[in-house]
Amino acid sequence: MENKQDDENSVNIKESILLSELSDDPNDYDQNNYDQNVYDQNGYDPNDYDDEQRKKKKVIIILEGACLQLIEVKRFIYELANSRKHKNILKKNKVDEENIKNFRPDILHQCLIHLLESPLNKFGYLQIYRKTHDNQLFYVSLFY
């Protein structure tokens, strides 16, 4: 009887040793340790910087060229022209046919997507401003 228990214990020990050897599998990792290793390899750690340091150092990006325009919908009520109706509205506001082609909200959208996904934004070092066709400057909020 003792022999059977010893055999079962030795089998359990062997299985636990084998399982511990399998933990080196690249698909089996602890996410926190993995993230820490990535930060160490790349030379930065987001926990090294406090809020005061983040406030001091910023990258400021001003997007212009993919024109958007503020349009007066009602008296003292302005909206940004969207892609579905901006051609007609711009014609009403006497914008040249050649300049209407420069109003590209899709370009602005792609730029904002890439900037918001960047490491600078994730660590809090990015400020984005948008310049309109009428030379008005808007701050783009990074929180959504």
| pLDDT computed for residue 1 by the predictor | 53
DSSP codes of every residue in 8-66 = HHHHHHHHHHHHHHHTT-TTS--HHHHHHHHHHHHT--GGG--HHHHHH--EEEEE-SS
| pLDDT computed for residue 32 by the predictor | 45
| pLDDT computed for residue 83 by the predictor | 55
The yes or no reply on domain 55-144 and CATH 3.40.1280.10 is yes
In single-letter form, the type of residue at position 123 comes to F
Distance between start and end Cα atoms, the chain: 67
| pLDDT computed for residue 114 by the predictor | 92
Average pLDDT per block of 10 residues along the chain, 144 residues long? 51 42 44 45 56 72 77 78 65 71 75 89 86 81 64
| pLDDT computed for residue 137 by the predictor | 87
Tell me if 138 sits within 8 A of 115, measured CB to CB.
Answer: no
Its pTM stands at: 0.48
Nearest to residue 139, comparing CAs of 56, 80, 62, 51? 62
85-117 per-position pLDDT tens digit: 666 777 777 777 766 666 677 788 889 999 988
Question: What are the structural domain ranges in the chain?
Answer: 1-48, 55-144
